[in-house]
Structure 1
Amino acid sequence: MFYKDDRLALFIDGSNLHAAAKSLGFDLDYKLLRQEFERRGKLIRAYYYTALLESEEYSPIRPLIDWLNYNGYTIVTKPAREYTDSMGRRRVKGNMDIELAVDAMELAPRLDHAVLFSGDGDFRPLVEALQRQGVRVSVVSTMRSQPPMIADELRRQADNFIELDALRDIVGRPPREPREPAPAPTTET
């Protein structure tokens, strides 16, 4: 489904991709991910979308965002909103669907192939709209998690479905060795 002269772009729904990889038990190496798709065609853009909590002084995602920004990814963020649900639990809402859809539609006239890293069924109309403009669309997510992370309607709409688990050996980080606890200090008498 990929041709060497394809102009392609990656559209990464950060929280969705992270959840899918985590459900499969591995971490992504974003350097290898970018290299893999540079190998598959002429990579025009690699977008990464995520919402950030502004109320937190330090966000655990900040180092990843900074690294991606310095390594060829276009980062799109917006503030996440905190709210309390009907059960009194603190929740965070930070949907990036509109930003991703607008960028994909703006770039579509300069693309042959769009690769969407998300299983969110809300993207089915976007995939259909890109296809009407002559852009082939591959969707990367997983059916191997319980429950599957890919919405059936999105998988059916896409020109090509790429199982994330099949990319594990190409774009996955090797598991980290557990750290040894520091030896307890000894006192000599």
Structure 2
Amino acid sequence: MRPIHASQRVAVLADSQNLYHTAHSLYSRNIDYTEMLSAAVDDRELVRAIAYVIRADSPAEEDFFEALEEIGFETKIKEIKTFADGSQKANWDLGMTLDAVTLASKVDTVVLCSGDGDFARLCTHLRHEGVRTEVMGFGSSTAEELEDAADSVVDLSEDEERFLL
């Protein structure tokens, strides 16, 4: 496991859909992205912060996207797809994975803000490439395989007042 040091270059990748649904189902609150980014960077050098969001045509979403950018996140927006049977789908798992792999040669640490177990294999790959992997998610809904694959895990539930609005 690679230790944390002040000269580390960090990329923060936030799975906004996962964070939103978890914060709302557990607490009926929103994420404080300013505090989450601050904790993720932890006095190291931020190379890139990306928030992966879904456009669902809700009234406040443009304000949310702008707020993320003001905080320091680059937003990547995906349109929600509606299928003939009425079902909908949109997720950023592949996009986040590709970005993490692309950024791996430019950073020392990748912080994944998500509890999605689909990212466990990504953590294993990044660690094999010599990149420190950190996960920030809500403990009760963070997949055990993701926690096991990461170098460190921050449970956002342990400091609700800091990480929730």
* Same fold (TM > 0.5): yes
What is the one-letter code of the residue matched to 2:162? Answer: I
2:145 aligned partner: 153
Given that 1:52 and 1:59 are in contact with CA atoms closer than 8 Å, whether structure 2 keeps it comes out as: no
The correspondence of residues 35-50 of structure 1 with structure 2, limited to 5 A, is 35-50=38-53
Determine helix, strand or coil for the equivalent of 2:87: strand
C-alpha distance in 2, partners of 1:52/1:69? 15
Structure 1's unaligned 5+ residue stretches are 174-189
**Alignment TM-score, normalising by the size of structure 2:** 0.87
Given that 2:40 and 2:111 are in contact with CA atoms closer than 8 Å, whether structure 1 keeps it comes out as no
Q: Secondary structure at the match of 1:40?
A: coil
Q: What SS does structure 1 have at the residue aligned with 2:35?
A: helix
Aligned-pair Cα RMSD in Å: 1.9
Q: 2:63 aligns to what? A: 63
Deviation at 1:59, TM superposition (A): 4.2
Identity %: 28
Alpha-carbon deviations, 1:58-105, whole Å to 9, x = none?
5432211122123321111121101365xxxx4321011111111111
SS in 1 for 2:7: coil
TM-score, L = length of structure 1: 0.77
Q: Which structure has the larger Rg?
A: 1
Counting matched residue pairs gives 162
Q: Which whole-Å CA distance do the structure 1 matches of 2:157 and 2:43 have between them?
A: 18
In the TM superposition, what is the alpha-carbon distance from 1:48 to its structure 2 partner?
Answer: 0.3
* Partners of 2:106 and 2:89 in 1: CA distance: 32
Work out whether 1:3 is the aligned partner of 2:1.
Answer: no
Question: Shift in Å at residue 20 of structure 1?
Answer: 2.2
Question: As a proportion of its length, which structure holds more helix?
Answer: 2
Unaligned runs of 5+ in 2: none
